[in-house]
């Protein structure tokens, strides 16, 4: 009379839809929390989920209930010393029923909960889109990929599919041989009867011999049986991207500025890894000369010196030509600097960028991290402004405070509405 | 019969053997149950079930997501264990067992849920009157499908808003005296589509062109509508709201029906848990006496059992009021004691059953009472002493609290009465009813809050609820607080 059912395998995460609705409803709060997290976090922790707090007031579900006041009686267990008529001061934190009415104790705690890494990133990158993605449409993709597309009757011997050929041959032999066999069987039966009755049976034997001959002549393999594996070439979208991180590490770039730049790169990297199957990173730092370094050195090693922006741009071009042909890679670059370029360097860099680098890259973002007072525009900024006007795959912004990183990032990569 | 094996591991065959043994023992005591269906689930699924108030097929809503997140947090951080079981009042009676439980715990849960709660659901008068165990699963399926259908047709946001508003009033969606008509999901669905079809057929654009005759001035009967106050606010909204579309009425109805379904559970918390706890305790002890389970099993069982029935004193850490498991279990056991070993005091207090057949007395109590009346009837002086219960009175006119009565000769009846009142619905929920609907006037709706012992409504939250009611009603709504002389004390209103 008892049914025992194992439900462990089905229906897990039934509340997922409810959880998702909750998150959608409180998106504004959660967005705010995500913004704060980014401002506080170090780069290493950036990709984890995190705690989100929503004010309890905002998510309460109101009900008709009693407020404080009025007359109440309440029974409690565990009396030790009280006798009837004792007077007790009201417990602190409530008057007029505060201590005795269930549900009056007003909790002002925030409703806190964790976002998973996925949820965090989803909100993080919500509405962001890679710029100029149109160019990666299938039609333009230059790479082709061969994929299996069934079998064909003609092909090169190297593509011959033996099992499939054998199958076809067997089918053909059965299809052609079966009627002959049936007829033979019938003739044999007639032959037996004719022999028993002593009738003439030469014509029968003649027919039988003819049929057996035909059966024997059915070829084991025929030209029509041959089957070849077929492959067609389909255009493969380039799912690879390379991201160049260019950073000025000259003396004027202090720890604060570097930190801002690092955060921006982290965001960009996270973003790209979600969009592309494979993302290569190239770190180029420069003082008066540029060098390619690994990630650790890039972020944590200190070095100082003069500033020649052009050197980094030139190095980037060299690396592109050597390792990342435009036909196979989506090239992105982010440059961070305080913009302190000397003499002709700013102008030369801007020209080089416009003429040599921008045609290669999908998108080039320039982040300027100014001094904290930050009113003065740098020489590089002035030169780059012209480039921005001329080119639509170049963007520049100024970031003075960690909390501005995310808005700027969103701004740079916001979905094009056009 | 050899003792049944136990330990941290369990398998399906073993659960079946335990169930058979428990069923056999339960039959000795004559427990009357629905057929059992036991489902094994993981901890995550248990959290899911939690979030939707134990209903496996609830409609989607963000508030369940909130509950899920809150429970999950508490569970992951170890603040709170999971309930060992969830049981659903349906026929067959569905009990969920967690896969993480040990065999001993599974046996305890089977005895507790599949025999204890199950028999309570089948026999208690409130459940018999207010719920249809054979129809609830069908109805849940219907409700879920209907609401998801509405979401598709009218948008998730519109449906969510509507359900928010209904939830704010769900405690006022219960008929306490009328017995609701039996529901069958199929019949409901058929009726709904029939309604829609008739409407479609009768539709004629000509009606629009008929010149409107001026309405007659309201007759005296019409002026005071409804004739009697209506305490089921959601029912009134569903039937009379001037603004709701037919599908919205149906959603209001669904929330109301589910609220009605939970009504008996809220009213019988102490009894229901007490009854189930008493029976798992009694059944497993009987099995131990019959040498079906061994000492180690009993020790593990008793460890869990005592955790469940612990009652902390008011001044101890972790005190959250009276533990319904502790009180219920103590009262059920006490009734058995009064029948088997009555003292002179018991004979004076309970002459009608002291020394009687405990099975019959308990069965009668289980069938015919709810928490309030059960405590008023059966709480004995011995238990009041054991729990050291005392009543505190808190009057807003007094600067201090006063100890009203304690566990002594003078106080027994008063403590018992006060405790019983505590489980009354009126004590927990403000008494609010629909008083007036200006059907022929400005269509405003007036609720009346009958002030009871000077207890006011919570101000900000009442305003919130009124906003929700206003959304359902579409015209002005107000709530009047009326004192016992019928004088209007204060009014809060909301205008669209």
The domain boundary, picked from A214, A232, A250, lies at: A232
A355 and A246 co-located in one domain: yes
The domain boundary, picked from A194, A214, A232, lies at: A232
- Those residues of chain B that have pLDDT short of 50 are 218
| Cβ-defined contact of B314 to A20 (cutoff 8 Å) | no
Contacts of residues B443-446 at CB distance under 8 Å and 24 or more positions apart, as own/partner, are B443/B242, B443/B474, B443/B475, B443/B476, B444/B475, B444/B476, B444/B477, B444/B478, B445/B469, B445/B473, B445/B475, B445/B476, B445/B477, B445/B478, B446/B477, B446/B478, B446/B479, B446/B480
| CA distance, residue A81 to nearest chain B CA (Å) | 10
Residue A138 confidence (pLDDT): 33
Is residue A345 included in any domain, yes or no?
yes
Is residue A219 included in any domain, yes or no?
yes
What residues have CB less than 8 Å from A7, skipping those under 6 apart? B39, B40, B41, B45, B96
| Cβ-defined contact of A65 to B430 (cutoff 8 Å) | yes
A190 and A306 co-located in one domain: no
Give the residue from chain A lying closest to B398, CA to CA: A96
| Substitution target from B69, B316, B398 for chain A, most A beta carbons within 10 A | B69
Note down the domain range covering A167: 157-232
Give the residue from chain B lying closest to A1, CA to CA: B35
Contacts of residues B432-438 at CB distance under 8 Å and 24 or more positions apart, as own/partner, are B432/A64, B432/B172, B432/B231, B432/B233, B432/B479, B433/B229, B433/B230, B433/B231, B433/B233, B434/B226, B434/B229, B434/B230, B434/B231, B434/B233, B434/B236, B435/B229, B435/B480, B436/B224, B436/B225, B436/B226, B437/B225, B437/B226, B437/B236, B437/B240
Is residue A10 included in any domain, yes or no?
no
| Cβ-defined contact of B48 to A63 (cutoff 8 Å) | no
Give the model confidence (pLDDT) of A286-331 as tens digits: 887 888 888 777 766 767 677 788 888 889 989 988 988 887 788 8
Give the residue from chain A lying closest to B163, CA to CA: A61
A395 and A246 co-located in one domain: yes
Residue B451 backbone phi and psi in degrees, to 5: -65, 125
Residue A102 confidence (pLDDT): 39
- Residue A9 at interface with chain B, using a CB cutoff of 8 Å: no
Q: Do residues A405 and A267 make contact, with C-beta atoms less than 8 angstroms apart?
A: yes
Q: Which residues of chain A does B388 touch, with a Cβ-Cβ cutoff of 8 Å? A: 77-80
Structure tokens at B256: 């109301």
Q: How far apart are CA B485 and CA A14, in angstroms?
A: 52
Q: Which of B69, B395, B404 sits opposite A113 (nearest CB)?
A: B69
| Cβ-defined contact of B314 to A70 (cutoff 8 Å) | no
pTM attached to this predicted model: 0.67
Is residue A72 included in any domain, yes or no?
no
Q: Which of A25, A69, A78 sits opposite B455 (nearest CB)?
A: A69
Q: Which of B64, B406, B418 sits opposite A82 (nearest CB)?
A: B406
Residue A100 confidence (pLDDT): 38
Q: Do residues A332 and A324 make contact, with C-beta atoms less than 8 angstroms apart?
A: no
- Residue A109 at interface with chain B, using a CB cutoff of 8 Å: no
| Substitution target from B82, B323, B390 for chain A, most A beta carbons within 10 A | B390
Is residue A8 included in any domain, yes or no?
no
A114 and A228 co-located in one domain: no
User: How many domains, in total, are found in chain A?
Assistant: 3
Is residue A148 included in any domain, yes or no?
no
In chain A, residues 20-79 whose CB comes closer than 8 Å to chain B: 20-25, 59-79
Nearest to B383 by CA among B421, B423, B336: B336
pLDDT in tens, chain A (418 residues): 578 888 777 665 666 777 778 888 887 777 777 767 766 665 556 666 677 777 776 777 888 888 888 888 889 998 888 888 888 887 754 433 333 333 333 444 677 777 777 777 777 666 555 554 434 433 344 556 788 888 998 888 888 999 999 999 999 999 999 999 999 999 888 888 888 888 777 888 888 889 899 888 888 988 889 999 998 887 666 667 788 888 888 777 777 777 778 777 877 777 777 667 677 888 888 887 888 888 777 766 767 677 788 888 889 989 988 988 887 788 888 888 887 777 788 888 888 888 888 888 888 888 888 876 666 677 888 888 888 888 877 888 888 777 777 777 777 766 554 3
| Cβ-defined contact of B396 to A96 (cutoff 8 Å) | yes
Q: How far is CA B10 from CA B105, B290, B302, in A?
A: 10, 22, 19
Residue with tokens 């963000």: B62
The domain boundary, picked from A232, A248, A275, lies at: A232
- Residue A2 at interface with chain B, using a CB cutoff of 8 Å: yes
Give the residue from chain B lying closest to A95, CA to CA: B396
| CA distance, residue B442 to nearest chain A CA (Å) | 25
| Cβ-defined contact of A18 to B65 (cutoff 8 Å) | yes
Residue B22 confidence (pLDDT): 92
Residue B189 confidence (pLDDT): 85
Q: Number of Cβ pairs closer than 8 Å across A and B?
A: 264
A226 and A288 co-located in one domain: no
């Amino acid at each position: 009379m008892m049914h025992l059912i194992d439900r462990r395998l089905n229906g897990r995460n039934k509340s997922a839809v409810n959880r998702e609705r909750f998150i959608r409803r409180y998106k504004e709060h959660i967005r705010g929390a995500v913004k704060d997290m980014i401002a506080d976090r170090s780069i290493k922790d950036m990709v984890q989920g995190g705690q989100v707090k929503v004010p309890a007031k905002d998510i309460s579900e109101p009900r008709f209930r009693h407020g404080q006041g009025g007359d109440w009686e309440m029974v409690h267990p565990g009396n030790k010393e009280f006798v009837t008529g004792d007077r007790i001061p009201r417990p602190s934190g409530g008057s007029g029923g505060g201590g005795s009415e269930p549900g009056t104790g007003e909790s002002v705690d925030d409703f806190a909960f964790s976002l998973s890494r996925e949820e965090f990133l989803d909100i993080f990158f919500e509405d962001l889109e890679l710029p100029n993605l149109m160019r990666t449409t299938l039609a333009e993709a230059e790479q082709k990929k061969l994929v299996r597309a069934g079998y064909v009757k003609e092909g090169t011997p190297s593509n011959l599919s033996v099992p499939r050929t054998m199958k076809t041959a067997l089918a053909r032999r059965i299809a052609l041989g079966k009627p002959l066999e049936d007829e033979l069987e019938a003739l044999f039966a007639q032959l037996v009867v004719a022999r028993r009755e002593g009738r003439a049976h030469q014509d029968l034997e003649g027919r039988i011999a003819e049929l057996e001959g035909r059966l024997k002549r059915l070829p084991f393999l025929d030209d029509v049986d041959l089957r070849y594996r077929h492959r067609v070439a389909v255009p493969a979208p380039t799912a690879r991207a390379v991201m160049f991180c260019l950073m000025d590490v000259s003396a004027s770039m202090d720890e604060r500025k570097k930190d801002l730049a690092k955060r921006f790169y982290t965001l960009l990297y996270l973003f790209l890894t979600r969009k592309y199957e494979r993302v290569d990173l190239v770190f180029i730092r420069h003082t008066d000369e540029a060098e390619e370094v690994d990630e650790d050195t890039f972020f944590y090693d200190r070095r100082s010196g003069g500033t020649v922006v052009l050197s980094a741009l030139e190095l980037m071009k060299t690396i592109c030509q050597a390792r990342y042909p435009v036909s196979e890679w989506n090239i992105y670059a982010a440059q961070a600097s305080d913009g302190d370029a000397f003499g002709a360097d700013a102008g030369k860099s801007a020209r080089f960028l416009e003429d040599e680098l921008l045609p290669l890259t999908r998108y080039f973002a320039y982040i300027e991290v100014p001094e904290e007072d930050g009113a003065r525009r740098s020489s590089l900024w002035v030169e780059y402004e012209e480039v921005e006007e001329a080119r639509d795959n170049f963007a520049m912004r100024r970031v003075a405070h960690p909390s501005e990183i995310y808005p700027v990032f969103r701004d740079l990569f916001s979905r094009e509405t056009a | 019969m050899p003792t049944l094996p136990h330990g941290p591991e369990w398998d399906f065959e073993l659960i079946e053997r335990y169930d058979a043994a428990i069923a056999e023992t339960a039959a000795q005591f004559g427990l009357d149950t629905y057929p059992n269906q036991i489902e094994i689930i993981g901890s995550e699924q248990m959290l899911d079930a939690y979030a939707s108030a134990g209903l496996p097929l609830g409609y989607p809503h963000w508030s369940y997501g909130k509950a899920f997140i809150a429970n999950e947090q508490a569970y992951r951080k170890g603040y709170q264990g999971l309930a060992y079981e969830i049981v659903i009042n349906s026929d067959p009676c569905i009990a969920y067992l967690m896969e993480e439980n040990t065999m001993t715990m599974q046996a305890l849960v089977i005895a507790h849920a599949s025999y204890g709660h199950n028999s309570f659901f089948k026999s208690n008068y409130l459940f018999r009157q207010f719920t249809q165990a054979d129809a609830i699963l069908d109805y849940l399926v219907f409700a879920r499908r209907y609401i998801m259908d509405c979401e598709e047709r009218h948008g998730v946001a519109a449906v969510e808003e509507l359900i928010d508003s209904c939830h704010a009033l769900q405690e006022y969606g219960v008929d306490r005296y009328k017995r609701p008509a039996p529901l069958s999901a199929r019949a409901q669905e058929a009726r709904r589509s029939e309604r829609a079809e008739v409407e479609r057929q009768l539709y004629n654009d000509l009606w629009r062109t008929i010149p409107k005759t001026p309405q007659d001035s309201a007759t005296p009967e019409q002026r005071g509508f409804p004739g009697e106050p209506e305490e089921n606010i959601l029912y009134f909204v569903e039937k009379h709201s001037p603004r709701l579309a037919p599908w919205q009425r149906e959603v209001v109805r669904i929330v109301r029906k589910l609220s009605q379904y939970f009504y008996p559970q809220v009213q019988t918390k102490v009894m229901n848990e007490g009854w189930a706890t008493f029976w798992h305790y009694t059944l497993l002890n009987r099995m131990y006496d019959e040498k079906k389970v061994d000492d180690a099993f009993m020790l593990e069982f008793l460890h869990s059992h005592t955790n469940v029935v612990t009652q902390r004193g008011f001044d101890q850490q972790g005190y959250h009021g009276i533990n319904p498991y502790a009180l219920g279990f103590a009262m059920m056991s006490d009734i058995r004691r009064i029948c088997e070993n009555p003292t002179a005091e018991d004979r004076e207090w309970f002459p009608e059953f002291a020394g009687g057949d405990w099975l019959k007395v308990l069965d009668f109590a289980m069938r015919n009472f709810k928490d309030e009346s059960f405590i008023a009837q059966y709480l004995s002086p011995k238990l009041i002493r054991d729990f050291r219960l005392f009543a505190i009175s808190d009057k807003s006119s007094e600067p201090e609290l006063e100890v009203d009565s304690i566990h002594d000769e003078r106080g027994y009846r008063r403590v018992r009465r006060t405790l019983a009142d505590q489980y009354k619905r009126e004590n927990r929920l403000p008494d609010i009813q629909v008083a007036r609907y200006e059907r022929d006037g400005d269509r405003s709706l007036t609720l009346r809050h009958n002030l009871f012992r000077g207890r006011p409504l919570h101000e900000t939250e009442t305003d919130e609820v009124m906003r929700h009611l206003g959304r359902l009603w579409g015209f002005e709504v107000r709530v009047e607080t009326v004192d016992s002389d019928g004088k209007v004390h204060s009014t809060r209103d909301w205008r669209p």
